[in-house]
């Protein structure tokens, strides 16, 4: 009995060490992304040694090979890279895995690297040190740490604005493929579509490419719209969704409502309702639907995102289906259906009657 207890306690201890150092997994991987190690391995076409990685790193001085070896050893151990250990005791080789392939940049639409850099930016990470203070006093950790939520910080810090917008656009890219495949008939009958808080317009531009009969409008704050590229079939409009939203047959809200409190979401939804036809209009919300006690592939990420929203926004959160139902009803959308796609987010199609 005692040895079973002892074994369980030892496992418990190991578990705590693992959590103590969990940030190292994120930040070591962030370092690998910044050094473009997934790209270097990819362009080599197969597994390579740390010395070969070092020789391809863009640096004015020669990179510290011993540092790269140790970073790769950890990331190999975590199966982010596939480590091969030659039987002659030579340098280990590192190849891509199904995980690190998501971090290769380029024309491939499967890219998570830019999102990773947003979520691990000092603004997003350092604010966590204020969380216990927030539990006691309320408020938002990022405001206590940096004097504003991420949107304020992006509007003042051009470098972060660029990192943030690129992260959102790349997430839109691979999610778009799933949205287009999983919501095939949702766009057919639309003549016009506004992507509300659409960032630099990545999603709407892809939708319009597949449905050229749709007049696309990308709507966001002025500091975002000024950095948006020109896309065929898309008009960029700057404004404030709390004030007014451009009219269209339907409105998209992707990764928007989770940034806001219930009260703010109801205001946005009421403005959405004013912008669409009374009977035939709809909103297409693309956001996480939290599964209570869910054990699915993305459930861990969903719960983590919920805390990201708690720390880095003023009142934002991820929501369960019940919470969405209540919110949509209050915002003027009493009927809805959830369409699951193979992604962290789901599609919630909601109607004014």
Name the token pair of 162: 């660029």
Whole-angstrom distance, CA of residue 112 vs CA of residue 169: 10
Name the token pair of 314: 């003023």
Under the binding rule (CB under 6 A), the answer on residue 259 touching ligand SAM is yes
Compare residues 96 and 197 and give the one whose CB is closer to ligand SAM: 197
Compare residues 224 and 328 and give the one whose CB is closer to ligand SAM: 224
> Any bridge partners for residue 193, and if so which?
216, 250
Longest dimension (CA), the chain: 73
**Catalytic position from the list 42, 121, 236, 258:** 258
Whole-angstrom distance, CA of residue 268 vs CA of residue 243: 9
Whole-angstrom distance, CA of residue 195 vs CA of residue 250: 9
Restricted to residues 219-248, the positions that interact with ligand SAM (CB under 6 A) are 220-221, 224, 240-242
Q: Which stretch binds ligand SAM (CB under 6 A): 19-27, 83-91, 115-123, 193-201?
A: 193-201
Residue 94, CA atoms < 13 Å, CB-side half-sphere: 30
Instruction: State the binding string over 36-65 for ligand SAM (x if CB under 6 A, else -).
Output: ------------------------------
Instruction: State the binding string over 134-173 for ligand SAM (x if CB under 6 A, else -).
Output: -----------------x----------------x--xx-
What is the DSSP code string of 211-257? -TTSEEEEEE-HHHHTTPPP-TTEEEEE--TTT-----SEEEEES-G
Compare residues 81 and 260 and give the one whose CB is closer to ligand SAM: 260
For ligand SAM, which residue of 42, 236, 254, 273 counts as binding (CB under 6 A)? 254
Give catalytic residues, as residue numbers.
258
- Positions in the binding site for ligand SAM (CB under 6 A): 151, 168, 171-172, 197-199, 220-221, 224, 240-242, 254-256, 259
């Amino acid at each position: 009995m005692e040895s079973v207890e002892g074994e369980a306690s030892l496992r418990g201890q190991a578990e705590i060490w693992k959590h103590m150092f969990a940030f190292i997994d994120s930040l070591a991987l962030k370092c690998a992304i910044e050094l473009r190690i997934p790209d270097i391995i990819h362009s080599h076409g197969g597994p390579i040694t740390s010395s070969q990685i070092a020789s391809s790193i863009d640096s004015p001085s020669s990179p510290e090979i011993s540092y790269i070896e140790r970073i790769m050893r950890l990331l190999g151990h975590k199966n982010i890279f596939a480590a091969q250990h030659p039987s002659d005791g030579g340098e280990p080789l590192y190849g891509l895995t199904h995980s690190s392939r998501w971090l290769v940049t380029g024309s491939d639409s499967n890219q998570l690297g830019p999102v990773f850099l947003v979520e691990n930016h000092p603004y997003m990470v350092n604010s966590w040190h204020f969380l216990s203070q927030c539990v006691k006093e309320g408020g938002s950790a990022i405001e206590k740490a940096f004097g504003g939520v991420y949107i304020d910080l992006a509007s003042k810090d051009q470098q972060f604005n660029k990192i943030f917008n690129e992260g959102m656009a790349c997430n839109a890219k691979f999610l778009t493929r799933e949205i287009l495949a999983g919501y095939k008939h949702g766009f057919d009958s639309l003549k016009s579509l506004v992507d509300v808080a659409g960032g630099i317009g990545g999603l709407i531009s892809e939708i319009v490419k597949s449905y050229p009969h749709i007049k696309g409008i990308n709507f966001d704050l002025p500091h975002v719209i000024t950095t948006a590229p020109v896309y065929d079939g898309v008009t960029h409009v700057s404004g404030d969704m709390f004030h007014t939203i451009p009219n269209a047959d339907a409105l998209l809200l992707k990764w928007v409502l989770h940034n806001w409190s219930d009260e703010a979401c109801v205001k946005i939804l009421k403005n959405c309702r004013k912008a669409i036809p009374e009977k035939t209009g709809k909103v297409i919300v693309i956001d996480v639907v939290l599964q209570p006690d869910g054990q699915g592939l993305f459930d861990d990420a969903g719960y983590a995102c919920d805390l990201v929203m708690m720390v880095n926004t003023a009142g934002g959160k991820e929501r369960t289906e019940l919470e969405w139902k209540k919110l949509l009803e209050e915002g003027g959308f009493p009927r809805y259906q959830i369409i699951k796609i193979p992604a962290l987010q789901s599609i919630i199609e909601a109607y004014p009657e």
